[in-house]
Amino acid sequence: MSPLPELPETPASSALSAATRRSILLLSFATFASMAVQRLCDAMLPELARVFDTSLAQAAHVISFFAVIYGLSQLIYGPIGDRLGKYRIVSVATLCCSLGCVLSVLSPSLVWLVWARVLTALAAAAIIPLGMAWVGDHVSYEERQFTLARVGVGTTMGIVGGQLMGGLFTDTVGWRWAFVFMALLFGVVGVLLIRDQRRQPPRPTTPADLIQAPDRMLASYLEQVRMIVTAPWSRIVLTVAVIEGAAGFGVLAMWASHLYHTLDLSLSAAGATVAMFGVGGVFYMMLAKRLIPLLGEAGLTRVGVVLMGACALVVAWGEWWWLAPPSCLVGGFGFFMFHNTMQANATQMSPAARGTGVSLFAASLFLGQSVGVVLAASLVAALGSAWVIVLGGAVLVAEGFYFARALSRREDLVKTFLA
């Protein structure tokens, strides 16, 4: 079994060019919008269930269906990005998201809204993973985790914005206006990305670009996927991503509804409270350059999941509303210590097919989220929302300690596979 050929890594440099920094800033705006539109419906769920006269589990389809399509689409965008240019695909996808949000505004029924969310997910799926892969192509591994943290500011602020806007618009002018805002945001960012992409140097032609037969293109892609999923370390990263998506992002969708029902908060207040989870992530991104060398990847993972698990307990069983915001803040800080470490490892699973590798990671993460949302919404009726949140936190703690231990064996697993 011969491994995929390794592409030479970008030379280590602490100084990024002005053009690269500009592109990273625009990617941050795009990832903000992509994550915001994912979390936009979290705080809306009770209102959507009321407006469309359905159960919370049925209303949650606007989240779970989004996550399913988002995850499956990663399998398409990886090879497309590797072949046609990652930045170009992100630019076009951002504009397409604007159209999906317009369709959401016009939804006359829950079924229509679900399908509009599906179309939005189909486009949004390209933005975060191909943005990460683009960074992997242009930044050395020594600087990559910190640079991904900078791009991740957009992602984590998207969690803040999505949760906050979903609750605020729903409580004031109506849930449809949240999608109006997102349509405008995607449109503006998409235009800026396309203008920036046109200023970038032409993408060099590679031998893979000369393959014309569809069967050979498919065979090449399947070979890339096979080499990634058969590598022991890649299997660990992808499996952990599935569980992280289910126990982390999936269960997180229930937090706002839990606070709304148990602490009698308004949807705006519940959404704003859970938005502190994203603020915690932003604080981590600001401190990442110091924490990464101080704790190392294993240390970041262990400390991160412990913080997340402890805060899940407070959110689930806290009897006073004022405990929830700082708990969400600290929980988000801890979660992104773990998640950012996962992202850095995902970019290095296959440098020769980084777009495909990162897309497989994102597919695993969001397929896990889709399962997690459906399972959590179903378990709320049987166990109660508090126990569902506690269970999600416990799973993350166990998973984090497993991954931290696996990190110590990473080099041995890679060398054995390549031998």
CA distance 129 to 107: 28
pLDDT at 4: 39
pLDDT at 264: 83
* pTM for this entry: 0.68
pLDDT at 3: 40
pLDDT at 414: 57
Nearest to 346, CA basis, from 330, 336, 361, 333: 361
Structure tokens, 70:
């988002």
pLDDT at 210: 42
Give CA angle at 388 (55, 244), nearest 5°: 105
CA distance 27 to 249: 21
- Phi/psi of residue 144, nearest 5 degrees: -70, -40
| Tens digit of each residue's pLDDT, the chain (419 residues) | 334 334 334 444 446 677 777 888 888 899 999 989 988 988 888 889 889 988 878 888 898 888 888 878 877 877 787 778 888 999 999 999 999 999 999 999 999 999 999 999 999 988 987 887 787 777 766 666 667 766 767 777 787 788 789 888 998 889 999 999 999 999 999 999 998 887 776 655 444 444 444 555 556 667 777 778 778 888 899 999 999 999 988 888 888 888 888 888 887 888 888 888 888 888 887 888 888 889 888 999 999 999 999 999 999 998 888 889 999 999 999 998 999 888 888 877 776 667 678 778 878 887 888 788 888 888 888 888 899 999 999 999 999 999 999 888 776 665 554 44
Residues 6+ positions from 174 with CB-CB distance below 8 Å: none
Q: How far is CA 347 from CA 24, 31, 175, in A?
A: 16, 17, 36
Nearest to 142, CA basis, from 31, 293, 4: 293
CB atoms within 10 A of CB 6: 10
Domains and CATH numbers, the chain: 19-201+218-418 (1.20.1250.20)
